[in-house]
Structure 1
Amino acid sequence: MQSDHFDLNRCIGALSTRFSSRLGAGASQEYHQRFQIGVVEWRILCHLAVEPWSNVIAMANSIGLDKSSISRALTAMEKRGLVEMRDGARRRREANLTREGLELHRAVLPVARARESALLSGFDAAETEQLLSYFHRLIANLPKVEEDAQRRAGPDR
């Protein structure tokens, strides 16, 4: 029998938002106190450490944040000397880590790894791989969610 209420403790969207918000807030607080950066800047540092000279669109797709947040963070990071900017293909600005940006990435990395290790305490290696697999499958299913929403909206939309 179906209930008249929506149980937020069994809702993937609500649980993922609660999880992400709490994890991000804690990381942001620690990173601000220790390194004077937030989670957005940390994610940009991580992205650029792997993919130098990336544009905002590539970063948004990679780290799952909106382009305006990334652009604002890049402006502040450039002023701080953490990234350098250049004109790229199709008039898109591209960013790369400076020496200072790479050093900051190296400094924050052990802290980020320690936070993740604490988060995954009680999970064995196989469970961690399974959890990662589930996240990747959920992300891959997001277009299906939007397709389903389009169908429900009908042809007039």
Structure 2
Amino acid sequence: MGILIPGPAETLIGMVSFAVVFVCMTKVLLPRINKVLDERKDAIEGQAERAEQLATEAREVLAEYREELAEARHEVARLRQEALEQGTQLIAEIRAEGLRERDAMIAEAQARLAADRLIAETELRGDVVSLATELAGRVVGEPLDVADSGIVDRFFSDLDARSAAGLQ
């Protein structure tokens, strides 16, 4: 037989060796390899499922976040509008109070001016009478005594009538 064609003993040893290796592989190694491959497959599928669950939860959380954000924006807009209305109301109340105070101050000032005018007029009339008497006495050359106050009163009433007619 030749080098390329083995003898019956060598063929038998080769077949028995192959059968032992094949049996060892199928009984010991292949179940372990299949077990590792199944674990990897389960791990990969489990990770994919977990990733899908996490993505679903993330979408739900994002939807809730957007909903809460929309509600918060609505609440902020409502509060802003409410504050604007309160501010407008406060400004109107302060303006009305200021106008009332201004009117009261004007009325008080007018009353004070009228009282001051009356006092000044009374004092000036007395001074005018004394100055006019003194001046008339200098013109005449002897001191004059104003015993008749009716003349002075008539003069001032004529003066008041003229000033009232001039104002109208």
For the criterion TM > 0.5, the same-fold answer is no
Q: TM-score, normalization: structure 1?
A: 0.27
Q: Which structure's residues are more often helix, by fraction?
A: 2
Q: TM-score, normalised by structure 2?
A: 0.26
**Structure number with higher relative contact order (C-alpha < 8 Å, ≥ 6 residues apart):** 1
Larger Rg computed on CA atoms: 2
Q: Which of the two has greater strand per residue? A: 1
